[in-house]
């Protein structure tokens, strides 16, 4: 097992407006910048092997603020991006329901596998997130890591750590700039050994 600190990016204007951001490259707002500073302060004093971040602006900026406080560099990895919401990006729930009713209903009935037009499912984002974290922990031999990413992407990590179904990921989305400590077990150690 490896210790990880999961940090969701700070607040953006689209968070306030409840718009689906996904891969849209929105910046932090003033509150988000202040939240990132608080997240950084909460991590001071710990020893970390590396800081990995999504390459999207809101996560990258959050990670850079943390890295400055810790005297570290940020390693960017696009696998840590939020789920791609495709045609839903920039829209609020009411607009999505009006424009894409069949896709919205599919999401309600199968939240793990449904995907918006041109986007990803929760299952898709979980697979890329989990593969990235398995790789990072192998690279750093169980040393503590900081992972800066996005709400639903980090929720899929919490599902694996907490043993929750991916269909329930949306209930595990962390608050903006919240630093959450978890113990990560690589998939190869979770699978039963064939005899």
Catalytic residue among 3, 9, 17, 57: 9
Query: Which DSSP symbol is given to 191?
Result: S
Is 50 strand, coil or helix? strand
Q: Which residue of the set 3, 82, 95, 188 is catalytic?
A: 82
**Residue 143: which of 52, 48, 67 has the closest Cα?**
48
HSE-up of residue 2 (Cα within 13 Å, Cβ side): 27
Q: Which of 70, 59, 67 is closest to 153 using CA atoms?
A: 59
Q: Is 9 a catalytic residue?
A: yes
User: What gap in Å lies between CA 83 and CA 185, rounded to an integer?
Assistant: 22
**Strand, helix or coil at 21?**
coil
Q: For the CA atoms of 49, 77, 92, 151, what is the dihedral angle to 10 degrees?
A: -20
Catalogue the active-site residues.
Answer: 9, 82
């Amino acid at each position: 097992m490896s210790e990880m600190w999961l940090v969701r990016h700070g607040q953006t204007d689209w968070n306030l407006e409840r718009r689906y951001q996904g891969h849209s490259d929105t910046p932090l707002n003033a509150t988000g910048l202040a939240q990132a500073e608080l997240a950084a302060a909460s991590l001071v004093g710990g020893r970390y092997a590396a800081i990995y971040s999504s390459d999207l602006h809101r996560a990258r900026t959050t990670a850079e603020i943390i890295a400055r406080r810790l005297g570290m560099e940020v390693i960017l990895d696009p696998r840590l991006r939020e789920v791609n919401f495709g045609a839903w990006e920039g829209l609020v729930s009411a607009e999505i329901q009006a424009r894409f009713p069949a896709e919205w209903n599919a999401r309600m009935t199968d939240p793990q596998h449904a995907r918006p037009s041109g986007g990803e499912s929760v299952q898709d984002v979980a697979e890329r997130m989990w593969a990235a974290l398995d790789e990072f922990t192998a690279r750093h031999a169980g040393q503590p890591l900081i992972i800066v990413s996005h709400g639903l992407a980090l929720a899929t990590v919490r599902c694996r750590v907490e043993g929750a179904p991916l269909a329930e990921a949306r209930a595990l989305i962390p608050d903006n700039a919240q630093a959450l400590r978890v113990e990560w077990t690589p998939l190869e150690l979770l699978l039963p050994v064939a005899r």
